[in-house]
Each structure stands twice: as structure tokens, then as C-alpha cells.
């Protein structure tokens, strides 16, 4: 088995999925690094979740985030996370949202461990979206990836409510 360490990043560069080497402080690395944070918090939410349907949805999203990170870490390739994935998130959001009571006040995180992790994930998704918009402005990024992150923050909010209410 190969070593976990490669030493190829010791001089401040990293390899993209498509093979190019770029600076570790680049907007591209920042964007997919933030998505990596989201994935870790969604894993925490899933590990502490109480609703099996929420846990299934989170597992699906965690797998899709690998594809999203590959999209961001790839130059000159068509996106894997397309508008169909955005529609998929919308369907999940709608299915859960119709089960929830109407909101009558602002939601404060902290009702359960899982919902709290989902609220943290939601805020990190919003940062990831800002990071990707910065990349979009400088170098370009796939619009479907931007839409996906926008819907994912909504999904995190809805799933946090599900963990608290259902």
C-alpha cells in the first residue's frame, strides 16, 4: 500500500482532479475545501441523526458532494453535478417541507445535536457558495454547481427542522 503522504504539496501546490498543479491558496482550492467541510458536518449530522429518512438523504448528498468537489477541482470538463441534481435536491426539499408545520418564528439552532450540525453545515454551505461565486468571477465555474450549493443550504435548513419536529 502506498503511503498516505506524497510530499507533492510541500512547496505550496496541489494537484487538481484533471492533473494540473495550482497554488493551495487559490480560489479553486478554497472552494472545494469548503465543500469538504460541508461534507464532514453532514456526516456528523447523519451519525447523530434520529430520522432515518433524513439520514438517507444526507448519505445521498454526501456522495454527490464528492462529485461536486471533482467538478470544482477539474479544469475544462463538463460538470457532473448538473441541473438534474439541483432538481433532485428540490424534490427532497419539497417532500420534507410538506410534512413540516408552517414557520411562525425564527429558528434557533440547538434543539438537538443532529439539527445543530445541520445548521452549522448550512452556514458552511453558504460560505462554499460565496467561495464558488468568487471563483466564478475570476476563473469561471459551472452554474449548475452554484445552483446546487444554493439549494443545499435550503435542504440543510429543512432537514434540521425535520430532525427537530418529526
pLDDT digits (tens, 9 = 90+) for 43-99: 999 999 999 999 999 999 999 999 999 999 999 999 999 999 999 999 999 999 999
Residue (of 46, 59, 51) closest to 118 by Cα position: 46
- Given this model, what pLDDT does residue 98 score? 97
- Given this model, what pLDDT does residue 1 score? 60
- Given this model, what pLDDT does residue 8 score? 85
- How far apart CA 1 and CA 127 sit, in angstroms, is 36
- Given this model, what pLDDT does residue 97 score? 97
pLDDT digits (tens, 9 = 90+) for 93-143: 999 999 999 988 888 898 899 999 999 999 999 999 999 999 999 999 999
CATH number for domain 15-100+109-163, candidates 3.40.50.80, 1.20.1200.10, 3.40.50.2300, 3.40.50.920: 1.20.1200.10
- How far apart CA 59 and CA 53 sit, in angstroms, is 10
Query: Domain residues of the chain, as ranges?
Result: 15-100+109-163
Q: What is the mean pLDDT of residues 143-156?
A: 98
Amino acid at each position: 500500500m502506498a503511503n498516505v503522504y506524497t510530499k507533492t504539496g510541500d512547496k505550496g501546490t496541489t494537484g487538481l482532479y484533471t492533473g494540473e498543479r495550482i497554488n493551495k491558496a487559490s480560489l479553486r482550492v478554497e472552494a472545494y475545501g469548503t465543500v469538504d467541510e460541508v461534507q464532514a458536518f453532514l456526516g456528523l449530522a447523519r451519525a447523530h441523526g434520529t430520522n432515518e429518512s433524513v439520514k438517507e438523504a444526507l448519505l445521498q448528498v454526501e456522495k454527490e458532494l464528492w462529485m461536486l468537489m471533482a467538478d470544482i477541482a477539474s479544469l475544462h470538463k463538463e460538470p457532473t453535478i448538473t441541473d438534474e441534481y439541483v432538481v433532485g435536491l428540490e424534490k427532497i426539499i419539497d417532500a420534507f417541507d410538506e410534512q413540516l408545520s408552517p414557520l411562525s418564528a425564527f429558528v434557533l439552532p440547538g434543539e438537538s445535536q443532529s439539527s445543530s450540525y445541520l445548521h452549522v453545515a448550512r452556514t458552511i454551505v453558504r460560505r462554499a457558495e460565496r467561495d464558488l461565486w468568487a471563483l466564478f468571477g475570476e476563473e469561471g465555474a459551472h452554474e449548475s454547481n452554484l445552483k446546487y450549493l444554493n439549494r443545499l443550504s435550503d435542504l440543510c435548513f429543512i432537514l434540521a427542522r425535520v430532525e427537530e419536529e418529526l
